[in-house]
Chains A and B, each alone.
Chain A
């Protein structure tokens, strides 16, 4: 397939993060500065080269104009400094905007960053009721994702063991990641023995709540060569699709605009699902990677459960997924860690390195699957 001229023109030059888990007393700005400093060191560039600072706001404590405080703490007066309010999809959306802005000459070197202290400060954002939902006892994300999972189970025969296979794969990978917040592995028998929390979900179906910060440096491949950036990872394609509506209003609860997002990204990259060797799929709940595998075209609609079974998504399987543990095991951070792990895989320096890793797909999404973005990375230059 022919690829878009932008494909491979932009690279991820550096990545950085704080420790994940519980970081009491750290402000989100402080965590961003630490992560950004690490990403700049990783790229081997001075901060003065950064002329765009793109910020995903913290979930725990939304604040007007948060992004300008980040730029100030970084000691920068960038050309571009948006605050990107799109939930988990923001990470790849910011990367897309950075790529287009670099290509159009609006900026030269972009820094994308995020931090949250949902664990040690406030996680109430995840437990609110909307409108009249409180009267019926529907609070937060758990019940709404549960509705989506139940419909998938009932409509396609997706089993609890299929959901469990996602948790087992992520927990296996996280257990081997020294930086993961939850390192205790999980067997399918452990999963089966676990009690329901909000049925059909058990505790093991639900992602972590975490503190932590992350940052990514983006520039053109040409600039990376000029600056002698080592281990730059090319951006092959990206796309987005917004399902927008609350789950109960969706004619079909079991599919989302992730379909459009992936089609756009694959078209830009000139690739298709069979070209993908490793995947980092947003796993806030176990049903989500199952639906993403279907919507991305790795299998037919309704076959995501069987596709995930029998260890196929584990490091020695056909399509290693969430190789650092994902949101279920590494950190509940909403998505930037998945891009970072994708970069590690494409550099061949991941903690659990996939045997074959030429192309990596990454999904990001937010809300109750209302927002979605997709990124395809290629082998390091």
Chain B
């Protein structure tokens, strides 16, 4: 975990009852997504009804932390005062190994233009004030043992 007190605080997350379990989980070092109790569909964003079978009663479940990169952008101009000292920063769409997609940041990359779609990523939760932000970093390539 890293703390960066010199940066302006991030905008507050959505802590409505629907999303509160998500942010409580990141405080515990976990990334949570919803799984439909009826059809088993895993999904984000949080909803009361499963968008596949329309049943209520989804439960929160912990993700493994593995994901792949779907797309990303690099903000060179801050869109909001909270990000004035953070540019350039990377916002990404990732797909968790369990299926749900989410918006996140890519961290730990010197040159975000060197990223590539479908690249493997791993969860890296970073503490920013009171908020534990679920971000992702490139996975260290796995070295296959020689035969």
Contacts and interface: CB of A to CB of B under 8 A. Distances in A.
7 contacts: A129-B11, A136-B133, A139-B80, A150-B73, A198-B75, A248-B93, A249-B101
Nearest to A143: B73
A150 B104 CA distance: 16
Contacts of A247: 93
B63 to A, nearest CB: 16
A151 B70 contact: yes
Q: How large is the interface on B (under 10, 10 to 19, 20 to 34, 35 or more residues)?
A: 35 or more
A142 interface: yes
A197 B77 contact: yes
Contacts of B10: 134-135, 137
Q: How large is the interface on A (under 10, 10 to 19, 20 to 34, 35 or more residues)?
A: 20 to 34
Interface in A110-144: 127, 129, 131-140, 142-143
A151 B91 contact: no
B109 interface: no
Contact of A150 (B71, B80, B82, B133): B71
B103 to A, nearest CB: 5
Nearest to A145: B73
Given A151-B70, A198-B75, A199-B74, A131 B14 contact: yes
Contact of B76 (A139, A150, A198, A248): A198
Contact of B79 (A139, A148, A248, A249): A139
Interface in B7-44: 10-14, 19
A135 B133 contact: yes
Contacts, number: 97
A253 B94 CA distance: 12
Name, among B70, B82, B83, B88, the residue most crowded by chain A CB atoms within 10 Å (CB to CB): B70
A195 B87 CA distance: 14
Nearest to A245: B51
3 tightest Cβ-Cβ pairs between the two chains A and B = A134-B11, A139-B79, A146-B73
B64 interface: no
Chain A, interface SS category: helix
A147 B77 contact: no
B34 to A, nearest CB: 14
Contact of B72 (A133, A147, A196): A147
A135 B76 contact: no
B126 to A, nearest CB: 11
B91 A143 contact: yes
B122 interface: no
B137 interface: no
A135 B11 contact: yes
Contacts of B79: 127, 137, 139-140, 142-143, 198
Given A143-B91, A248-B93, A137 B105 contact: yes
Given A132-B19, A197-B77, A198-B76, 7 more contacts: A132-B45, A135-B10, A137-B80, A138-B103, A147-B72, A150-B117, A200-B73
B136 to A, nearest CB: 11
Contacts of B131: 135
B89 interface: yes
A224 to B, nearest CB: 46
Contacts of B101: 248-249
B113 interface: yes
